[in-house]
């Protein structure tokens, strides 16, 4: 269950900071987020969210894009993406 997280500003432009890379590893069987001395497995959905965090797209645009891509209710996507991005930001794996 996701705890409610502080909202992310609609015009925020989330991006991976220097030194954090989203990589697909054949050998390790999927997407991984590489950070200083740490590896995080990312499932397909998390990878799709992080891929959109280019520093160009706004948070609102990302949520709308995902809602369309997954034919899912916007509110649900908003909650899930907020939780993921807040979690990554707390670990210094994302800049909001």
Partner 1 sequence: MAENGAALYKPLGMLAELTHRCPLGCPYCSNPLALDPRDAELDTRTWARIFMQAAALGVLQVHLSGGEPGARRDLADIVAEAHSAGLYSNLITSAVGITGSTLEKLAERGLDHVQISIQDSEPESADHIAGYKGAFARKRALAADVVRLKIPLTVNAVMHRANIDRIEDMVTLALELGASRVEIAHVQYYGWALKNRTALMPSAEQVVRAAVVVEELRRRHHGQIVIDAVVPDYYARLPKPCVGGWGRRSLNVTPTGKVLPCHAAESIPGLEFWSVRDHSLADIWANSPAFNAFRGTDWMQEPCRSCERRNLDFGGCRCQAFALTGDARATDPVCHLAPGHEMVGALAAVREDVPYHYRQM
Interaction between residue 92 and partner 1 (CB under 8 A): yes
Closer residue to partner 1 in complex, CB, 66/85: 85
Q: Which of 10, 19, 55, 73 binds partner 1 (CB under 8 A)?
A: 19
Give the Cα separation of 62 and 59 in Å (integer): 5
- Binding residue for partner 1 (CB under 8 A) from 2, 10, 17, 55? 17
Site for partner 1 in 72-91 (CB under 8 A): 89-91
DSSP strands (E only) in the chain: 21-25, 30-35, 38-42
Among 1, 3, 36, 43, binds partner 1 (CB under 8 A): 36
Local structure of 68: helix, strand or coil: helix
What is the distance of C-alpha 78 from the center of its chain? 11
32 binds partner 1 (CB under 8 A): yes
């Amino acid at each position: 269950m996701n705890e409610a997280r502080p909202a992310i500003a609609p015009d925020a432009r989330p991006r991976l900071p220097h030194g954090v890379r989203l990589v697909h590893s054949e050998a390790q069987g999927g997407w991984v987020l590489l950070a200083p001395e740490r590896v995080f497995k990312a499932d397909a959905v998390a990878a799709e969210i992080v891929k959109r965090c280019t520093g160009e797209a706004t948070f609102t645009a990302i949520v709308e894009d995902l809602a369309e891509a997954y034919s899912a209710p916007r509110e649900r996507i908003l909650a899930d993406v907020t939780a993921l991005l807040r979690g990554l930001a707390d670990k210094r794996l994302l800049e909001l």
